[in-house]
Amino acid sequence: MEKNINIPKHIGIIMDGNGRWAKSKNRPRVFGHKAGATALRKIVEHCRRIGVEYLTVYAFSTENWKRSQEEVNALMTLFKTYINSERKMLLDNNVRFMVSGRKEGVSESLLKAIEKLQEETSKDYKMTLNIAFNYGGRAEIIDAIKKIKDSQEEVTEENFSKYLYNDLPDPELIIRTSGEFRISNFLLWQIAYSEFYITDTYWPDFDEKELEKAIYSYNKRERRFGGRLDAE
Ligand code: IPE
Ligand code: IPE
Ligand code: MG
């Protein structure tokens, strides 16, 4: 990266296009998901290198259960494999692992593996990798409201995020791969003023160069947050 580039503190990525990538190669969708996991490894390492503090990636939505049993099973197995295969890389790079999403529907053994890696990586970290898994933005807001009902606190825009799955700063930049211009229920509360970057590249082909392109594009944006820059 060039000098004087403003690196977003928190980047969110909708990792889309695994299926189409596989189709373009006449391979099964699961082959695309495996390639997607490899792509994620490189992006995590690169984010750590350039100083991103939080990376939230959308891996499985609350709507993705609608897919074939075969694909759902493969995605569950792949996440379990990912947890084992990335453990060393995450520890070596001081990356904290966390997951945002509902537990319902996720197997006990996967929940256990998640918890173990969260615990193991919770100390001395320099970056946080937050995996949105069995995640829906609406589900997260509903789940937050249920927690609030049990608390005595007055809820404000400032303290609401405390009740979300993980209390992280709002992402400055949201990337979606594979050319779809929609949010698909990702981080609805947190993206109020996020900048968007959409690329046609399928997720398995999204690499360090593509990430840097997104960050350069972000650097050209003029964020106004509803105010105006040319104050009189
Ligand atoms: C993204 O790739 C990964 C998941 C949603 C699990 P897709 O599986 O959505 O790939 P496309 O959009 O069908 O190409
Ligand atoms: C969003 O992609 C979810 C993930 C990337 C995990 P989808 O492929 O599920 O979204 P739609 O169906 O195109 O909106
Ligand atoms: Mg998709």
CA distances from 159 to 107, 162, 168, 191 (A): 32, 6, 12, 16
pLDDT at 3: 85
Q: What is the pLDDT of residue 228?
A: 82
Ligand 2 centroid – CA 184 distance (Å): 6
**Strand, helix or coil for residue 9:** coil
Q: How far is 143 from 146, CA to CA, in rounded Å? A: 5
Establish whether residue 20 lines the binding site of ligand 1, counting it when its CB lies within 6 angstroms of any ligand atom. yes
Question: For position 115, which CATH number holds?
Answer: 3.40.1180.10
Task: Tell me how many domains the chain contains.
Answer: 1
Distance 149 CA to ligand 3 centre (A): 35
How far is the centre of ligand 2, averaged over its atoms, from the C-alpha of 18 (Å)?
A: 10
Look at residue 46 and tell me if it is in a domain: yes
List, in sequence order, every residue forming a beta bridge with 12; answer none if it has no partner: 56, 174
Q: Give me 78's structure tokens.
A: 């792949």
pLDDT in tens, the chain (232 residues): 888 999 999 999 999 999 999 999 999 999 999 999 999 999 999 999 999 999 999 999 999 999 999 999 999 999 999 999 999 999 999 999 999 999 999 999 999 999 999 999 999 999 999 999 999 999 999 999 999 999 989 999 999 999 999 999 999 999 999 999 999 999 999 999 999 999 999 999 999 999 999 999 999 999 999 998 775 5
pLDDT at residue 213 in the model: 98
57: exposed, middle or buried (C-beta count within 10 Å: 0-12, 13-18, 19+)? Answer: buried
7 with 52: CB under 8 angstroms? Answer: yes
The reply to whether 45 falls in a domain is: yes
Domain contains 225? no
Maximum pairwise Cα distance, the chain: 61
Residues with CB under 5 A from ligand 3 (ion): 16
- DSSP-H helix ranges across the chain: 18-24, 29-50, 69-92, 108-120, 137-149, 208-219
Q: Determine the pLDDT at residue 121.
A: 98
Q: Which residues pair with 173 in a beta bridge?
A: 11, 195
Q: Pinpoint the alpha helices (H) of 150-225.
A: 208-219
Q: Which ligand is nearest to the CA of 37?
A: 1
Within a domain: 179: yes
Residue 17 within any structural domain of the chain: yes
Whether 230 maps to a domain, the answer reads no
Domain hosting residue 33, numbered range: 10-219
Per the listing, tokens 């945002």 go with: 100
The ligand that comes nearest to the alpha carbon of residue 61 is 2
Nearest to 174 by CA among 63, 2, 12: 12
64: Cβ below 6 Å to ligand 1?
A: yes
Handedness of CA 67, 146, 182, 176 (dihedral sign): negative
Helix, strand or coil for residue 204?
helix
Q: Provide the 10 A C-beta neighbour count for residue 201.
A: 18
188, part of any domain: yes
Would you say residue 1 lies in a domain?
no
